[in-house]
Structure 1
C-alpha cells in the first residue's frame, strides 16, 4: 500500500525514476480500486450504460490520471527511455504490448540521464 501512496504523493512529478515495484504495485491497487468502485456504482445505480462508466469510478479515474501518467513516465526513465514513449500506447494493440514490454524490463544499472538508480537507494 505504501507504493500506491508514494505515487499519489508524487502526483505531478514527471522527472526522476520509478522502480518496477513502485509502478506495478500502483497498477495493482489502481485495478483493485477501479473494480471495487465499479461494483459499488452498479449496486447503488450510478453506472451509466450509455457512457460505460459509473460516477464513482469516473471520478476516481480522473483523480488518478496525473499520478498514473507521472509514474509511467518515471518508469520509462528508469529503463533509460524518454517519457514521450508513453505516446506509443496510442497505437492500438501494438502500442500497449510495446509499453508492457518496456514496463517489465529491469532498471538501467547505475545512474542515467534521468537520475540515480532507485534500487541502489533502497538497498
Structure 2
C-alpha cells in the first residue's frame, strides 16, 4: 500500500497481538507504539477543543463532572489508556527480550527516582545481535551466517 499504511500497521501491532509476551521487539516497534498512543490522546484533546470552542480538558482528579464533551473526552482517554495497558506491557516485555532480559525486570522501573533512568536505559539501547534465548533477531540479520 503506502508508507503511512505500513507505519500504522507497525504502530498498532501490539493491539493485534494483544497479550503476546513471547518473542522480541525492535526499538522502532516499541517507539512507534508509544508515538501512536500519544497521537490518539492528542487527537482526543483536539477533538474536545473543537467541540467545546477551545476549552481545555478538565482535570481528571475531578472525575466526570462538567459538560458532555468534557465527560466524553475524559472517558475516551481513560478507556484508551485502559485498553493499552496489556499491549504496552507485552511490547515492553518483548523489547526487554530483545536485550536479553526477562520481562519481570520491568518491576525496577517503578523504583523512586532511578526507575525512569532504568526504563530509558533498557528501552533506548540496541538489542542483542543475532538470536538470543527469546528468539531470532527481529531485524532479520544473523551475523553467524556472515562467517561461514
Instruction: Report the TM-score, using the length of structure 1 for normalisation.
Output: 0.86
Match of 1:86 among 85, 103, 106: 106
RMSD, aligned CA: 2.0
| CA displacement at 1:84 relative to structure 2 | 0.8
> Where do 4+ consecutive residues of structure 1 move more than 3 Å?
38-45
1:56 corresponding residue in structure 2:
76
Indicate how the Cα distance of structure 1 residues 3 and 48 shifts in structure 2: closer, same or farther if over 3 A, else same.
Answer: same
The aligned runs of 1:1-123 (5 Å cut-off) are 1-41=8-48, 43=51, 48-51=58-61, 54-120=74-140
Unaligned runs of 5+ in 1: none
Residues in 1 aligned to 2:105 and 2:129: alpha-carbon distance in whole angstroms: 20
Count of equivalent residues:
120
Secondary structure of the corresponding residue to residue 139 of structure 2: helix
Unaligned runs of 5+ in 2: 1-7, 64-73, 142-148
